[in-house]
Structure 1
């Protein structure tokens, strides 16, 4: 009964909190309406969710998010420096193929999103067998270092989080 009413409890809680942030006012009516959305939307969309992703170490998710946020801040300054000081003459854009050890679709999606959210890199394509991802890097002289950094900073942590 409870799993039918709240098929995705974290999603329900997230919807309620996002609703309260959007209306920017915590009142009884807004909490009730946010709670209503938090219950109804997951119930309606539950048939379209093939399965819940299993998270092996949920505590590591916060660490992963902190690393990604830090990398986004640092990359913003790096990209600004490239644009302001390097000019077009010395920018070396590269395509980097990153072989993947992770197999979970959720982990691959999070990795691709992380790469794209980090300024200066864009995940362009996933291979048909999901064995590698093609990444465009705004400026690098060492594509292997970019590949190793992605595998070490992101993929290694995602392997710990997802089975």
Structure 2
């Protein structure tokens, strides 16, 4: 069964999305959706990385909630920084963050988190995955920022994936 459906959730999602995007459940669209749901995962299976193993699902929920809160707070902070640009320019800086996280899925999640949170940009990852170069829009205290980043994002990801 797994050879026919290497990614069953992806197959179901493709089937449903095809029908939703076409706003039709005609026999032709159902046939096309079934073909897409069957053949796309089979053809793309060699491109998929190894499967992620989530060790603590509750930590995932806490991390998602924390990232959501940080997105809102960071939006407000960046907007305030832009609005007061004339009176006090933001102190933008590149920060080298030493990483303990080495798992590929965890690093991918960390890169998405830094992309979603306004005011931070993932700039570079060392070849040995030991140091992350991050650009911060308005950096007040580098040591405090690094400690916050590691405590709030890296450690939960280590709990989830390692």
Common fold, TM-score beyond 0.5?
Answer: yes
Instruction: Give, in angstroms, the shift of residue 46 of structure 1.
Output: 0.6
- Bigger Rg over Cα: 2
Instruction: Give, in angstroms, the shift of residue 134 of structure 1.
Output: 0.4
Q: TM-score, normalised by structure 1?
A: 0.84
Change (3 A) 1:39 1:120: same
RMSD: 2.3
Instruction: Give, in angstroms, the shift of residue 37 of structure 1.
Output: 2.7
Change (3 A) 1:75 1:41: same
5+ residue gaps, structure 1, are none
5+ residue gaps, structure 2, are none
The answer for the alignment partner of 1:110 in structure 2 is: 109
Superposition map of 1:65-144 within 5 A: 65-87=64-86, 89-144=88-143
Instruction: Give, in angstroms, the shift of residue 69 of structure 1.
Output: 2.1
Residues 81, 89 of structure 2: 8 Å contact kept: no
Secondary structure of the residue that 1:101 maps to in structure 2? Answer: coil
Instruction: Give, in angstroms, the shift of residue 60 of structure 1.
Output: 3.0
User: What number of residue pairs does the alignment pair up?
Assistant: 161
Mean alpha-carbon deviation: is it higher for 109-118 or for 48-57? 48-57
Deviations 1:41-75 (A, max 9, x none): 21111112242122212343233222222211221
What is the rounded CA distance, in whole Å, between the counterparts of 2:108 and 2:75 in structure 1? 22
Change (3 A) 1:114 1:144: same
